[in-house]
Structure 1
Amino acid sequence: MSKSLKNINKITLALSAYAITTLANADILTSVRPLGFIASSIADGVTQTQVLVPAGASPHDYSLKPSDAKRVRDAEFVLWVGEDIDAFLEKSIEKRDPKTVLTISDIKGLESLLGETSAHHHDHDHDHNH
């Protein structure tokens, strides 16, 4: 099994365990689409999930609109990668009860995968997709 697939399995297991104990009938807001896919598959038939960053937009340069800030405040649970990827959410996350937030970068065992992502700086002039 590839390293990426193992890490996705770890994320899925962590979210599943967290969902069972915390998310019964909670509206879930995720920062980015990949987390939205995972949350939707876990919460299927149990609760609604929404993705904050629109398709085609990058979390690296996204800014919260007033309507987005309201969605963050109103969500019962927020799932985000962390400040390295979702810096636009940091202030809004700090205002929330920590029990209503899951920060993927805080999950033990994912440091190596996230370390590669975090170390990938964007101070260069070439286009690429993430």
Structure 2
Amino acid sequence: MTEAEMNARSLGGWQLTDQQLAQLVATLRPVMEAMRARVAGDDQKWLDKTQLAARLQVSVSLVDLKVAGREIPHHRVGRLVRFTPADIAEIERLMQEPTRNFERESALALTSLRAPQQPRRRPRRQ
């Protein structure tokens, strides 16, 4: 057995020398540091519908309706619905704005444009 073979390390079926192992560690170190920084920067976790409803003090069914109508920002992870911290901030901002009933306002505008209707008279009985 040669000295190189004695210094070789087994890594998942791969035989690496000390120099190759050091080179691999040096290559992967920046990647691992970037991943750690990204995970550490994620202070708040994503919320699900139940957690969001509890935070906003509304029912889960209301959150479901708003998600189905695409009225609030959300992310789908497969079949699951999740809300990021940015989504939650946007939802809270949207909840503070006064709501307007555009359907009612447009109906009122249309009725004001119509000609006044004559009252209906009952037919005379004979």
TM-score > 0.5 by shorter chain? no
Higher helix share: 2
TM-score (ref. length: structure 1): 0.22
TM-score (ref. length: structure 2): 0.22
Ranked by relative contact order (alpha carbons within 8 Å, sequence separation 6 or more), the top structure is 1
